[in-house]
Structure 1
């Protein structure tokens, strides 16, 4: 039988072995656990930073337009993949479609009004009184033709107009006196000249009218004057409403208009 001293020695050795084994076992497990926890923590932090940055994806649609959408981990697989990008694109398309439907409904309830005629280039605005511009031109022209049996439509700078007026007003005495319209000085001059062109077939000036009918321009007046038939022409067209004679004619017959 071993002695008490030997037994105590064996017990102490056994306890030392157990303590040593437990010590190294505990340290290894602690290190492994710490390493695993560190790896896991870094991975989670990296994923959170990626998510925190917004995860914005620029989606190119089929027409080349760009749409910015939030592509997040919507399927919960721990990463932003192609499925998340596709979902974000579909969401953006649905939003655009909804926005367009809202616009269409708003336009249907309150359709856009066309621009006022005064704001449209090339379209003449209607008068404030609602009258037709063409009718106003015609009415103005008719009023002018009533001023006198002989009406001369002229332009102040036109040499042909000056020559015709010189013959009619300086060489002859006409009663009632001819009514002179200087189209370049009239606010409706262009419109009146265009209307005269429609009425008489003469779109140039001068245009000499007798009782609403044209006898021509400068060439015609000078030709009739040269042939000594101008007085007869105007009197016949004036239908006895016009008295006309030459101012400085020699040997004027008694009782005559010349």
Structure 2
């Protein structure tokens, strides 16, 4: 019995050793698969590198340089499937790059204008000289025939001034027709306030005086200059009765003190039926 057991054990050991030698020879004869995680990493990196088929560089279907195709599907060879995958990756990368540029442009401020578009405009004109030697660009050409810029061709140079004078004269004529007694004043002037206090508060004048505040009138400075030419008085107040100036604030106060004001106003305004009397009389 012991002898038989020994034979069985020896046979089992021999069979095991034989199987190990057989499987070892099979592994040696089979070509080993060299593809590892590192191989996959390097292949992917090569596909994404500049100049490769899957990169966002100029290598592509429309490039003069043929794209570098690698084994994209890791099937052991490069075929049409690898070319298709490389082109698809290239297209995706280009689309992502363009999208990033568009997003950056959308967030960025407006690009500056070209220098040729801003010469002579705003602060960019500082120090710049145009062809005519003027700062900030070329000087405007003179109007033909000496006409004022903006006036019709052939119009005299003083046409604008003449029109302005005519407008002032017409406005003054309209004002003088409003009432026989007209007080040309300024709202902040103490002498004007004094004259208005006498004429409007102490006395009753019929028809009522018309007051023109030159500091608020659109043509105030021009009217004041025109009154200076017509009456010789450049300051305010300037009180006119029937178109004739009877003086300013001091003159009104003096005539009122000397009891001459009512007679003066009534005489000059008699043609228009002016009646003047003290409120408390």
More relative contact order, 1 or 2 (CA 8 Å, 6+ apart): 1
TM-score by length of 2: 0.44
Structure having the higher strand fraction is: 1
